[in-house]
Structure 1
Amino acid sequence: MSAPVARLDDVHLSFAGVKAVNGVSFEVNPGELFAIIGPNGAGKTSLFNVLSGVYRPQQGSVRFLGEDILGRRPFRIAAMGMARTFQNIALFEHLTVLDNLMLGRHQHIGYGAAAAFLWRGKARNQELEHRRFVEEIVDFLELEAWRSLPVGLLPYGVQKRVELGRALAMEPKLLLLDEPVAGMNLEETEDTARYILDIRDELDVPIIMVEHDMGLVMDLADRIMVVDFGTPITTGTPAEVQQHPDVIRAYLGEEIGS
């Protein structure tokens, strides 16, 4: 069996004595869509911040692609191939869709400011190659109609798609999706679900997803971890989690589909 893409072991994170993450352990395997669910304040985003290097836990280990990344700065972890989207859209609203996507190529740029200014040789060739790559993402996410428009003029659901595209522009080896369908209507949610599955299945990118839409999670995830006040309750397949009495009582209220 292939080694896990990412692994957390007995991670503890506190702020002023308040436990945000309390003994969390999990691993994500190649080609897997792993979901983390729980109520607001359960520690889900804190786990993303631990993984991406924003927070350093007081205890535990964090590994990515077989390497210990505890204490590494976020841009170093991103350069290794970990990409992330955010709950709140973090795009440059006055830049076009293409320009926002190009920002995701920054870690692949191999030339300096002087070469970029002259736009010759290596800089020109790389720039054209990056634009070709970004155009493939435009096609993949069906953004052709908006490619040259400022992002701030686009509907909310399309902006969320652009942010997803910017993460894909990094050529991630692991993609962290923080509430990818939050605020979307039904049609936008269904479209996003299809893109997420395509990313996993066609691009072969493993995904960790935090999401409150339980129907979406149960439909898409290979495995799910449930957390409450930073403490893991259970981890398993959607069917296993769905039947867990504490999950039914505390989070779902009733079995999905009942």
Structure 2
Amino acid sequence: MTGDAVLEVQDIALSFSGVKAVDGVSFTVGAGELFAIIGPNGAGKTSIFNVLSGVYRPQQGSVRFKGQEILGMRPHRIAALGVARTFQNIELFAHLTVVDNLMLGRHNHMRYGALSAFAWLGRARREELANRQAVEDVIDFLELEQWRRLPVGLLPYGVQKRVELGRALAMEPKVLLLDEPVAGMNVEETEDMARFVLDVRDELGIAMVMVEHDMGLVMELADRVMVVDFGKPIRTGTPAEVQRDPDVVRAYLGEQHKTVGGAA
């Protein structure tokens, strides 16, 4: 783990009609760390994300963000504290421009009321200009300049995924939850997204929790990896440690594989 823990998850258990989706999951994420969660389909990865973001409330456990218990908070309250999320299926407004979609990520930073906004004076004007500058910084960071005034629905899929990341970054999060950030991308788009994810960690210092099926990407980018199977954590460690673990090989890759991506 890198630096002090910004996210602490302890003994989470979540069941639906008696079926355990998450069973005894614990982990910490340090400041500036990229922590990945992997596992077979149905292993509980998305359920863990939904617990972290407040969509699900588990029957037991604790989730602390910067020392504050957030379990039981509504999703918008968790987001306001500094936990942002991207989605596997793009959740953008197709008819709005890139700029307008990113401005939606600034809603937690807008303090003026409707009257001030209508008058376009004083605090409203200052905050609007500051928020637009923050969005322009994200556009520069993610190299979105050429698409900034285009409706998102007209953009290539990989660029839309980048806009989704940008909207989360516009919130100025302390923890970023990345739900399959390269799902559906071609090789070039995947390489671009990998570069930006590393820039988020190394240049912005934002801690990240990533769920991803592209094992090559995970093993190349992640500082630490937690493997889950049937809702249970079976190993947490560096990518190299996880790849060598026989329980991980059996659960995730099958007996015929020796390492991730290795020969039979």
What is aligned with 2:164? 163
Q: Deviations over 1:16-58 (max 9, x none)?
A: 1110100001000111000000111111111111111111110
Deviation at 1:60, TM superposition (A): 0.9
Summarize the alignment of residues 13-162 of structure 1 with structure 2, pairs less than 5 Å apart. Answer: 13-162=14-163
Moved more, 99-108 or 69-78: 69-78
Please say if residues 5 and 30 of structure 2, whose CA atoms lie closer than 8 Å, have aligned partners that are also in contact.
yes
Tell me, what secondary structure is at the counterpart of 1:77? helix
What is the rounded CA distance, in whole Å, between the counterparts of 1:25 and 1:112 in structure 2? Answer: 41
Deviation at 1:234, TM superposition (A): 0.4
What is aligned with 2:7? 6
Summarize the alignment of residues 155-194 of structure 1 with structure 2, pairs less than 5 Å apart. Answer: 155-194=156-195
Report percent identity of matched pairs. Answer: 74
Task: List alignment gaps of at least 5 residues for structure 2.
Answer: none
What is the rounded CA distance, in whole Å, between the counterparts of 1:70 and 1:95 in structure 2? Answer: 33
Amino acid at match of 1:19: K
Deviation at 1:225, TM superposition (A): 0.2
Q: Deviations over 1:220-253 (max 9, x none)?
A: 0000000011111100000000001121223234
Please say if residues 216 and 261 of structure 2, whose CA atoms lie closer than 8 Å, have aligned partners that are also in contact.
no
Q: CA RMSD in A?
A: 1.0
Amino acid at match of 1:177: L
Amino acid at match of 2:182: V
What is the rounded CA distance, in whole Å, between the counterparts of 1:229 and 1:26 in structure 2? Answer: 17
Task: List alignment gaps of at least 5 residues for structure 1.
Answer: none
What is the rounded CA distance, in whole Å, between the counterparts of 2:151 and 2:121 in structure 1? Answer: 27
Deviation at 1:2, TM superposition (A): 4.6
What is the rounded CA distance, in whole Å, between the counterparts of 1:251 and 1:18 in structure 2? Answer: 21
What is aligned with 1:256? 260
What is the rounded CA distance, in whole Å, between the counterparts of 2:250 and 2:59 in structure 1? Answer: 31
What is the rounded CA distance, in whole Å, between the counterparts of 1:204 and 1:25 in structure 2? Answer: 23
What is the rounded CA distance, in whole Å, between the counterparts of 1:2 and 1:217 in structure 2? Answer: 21
TM-score (norm 2): 0.96
What is the rounded CA distance, in whole Å, between the counterparts of 2:100 and 2:175 in structure 1? Answer: 23
Tell me, what secondary structure is at the counterpart of 2:118? helix
Q: Deviations over 1:81-116 (max 9, x none)?
A: 000001100000000000000000000001011111
Moved more, 206-215 or 108-117: 108-117
Summarize the alignment of residues 181-220 of structure 1 with structure 2, pairs less than 5 Å apart. Answer: 181-220=182-221
Aligned length: 258
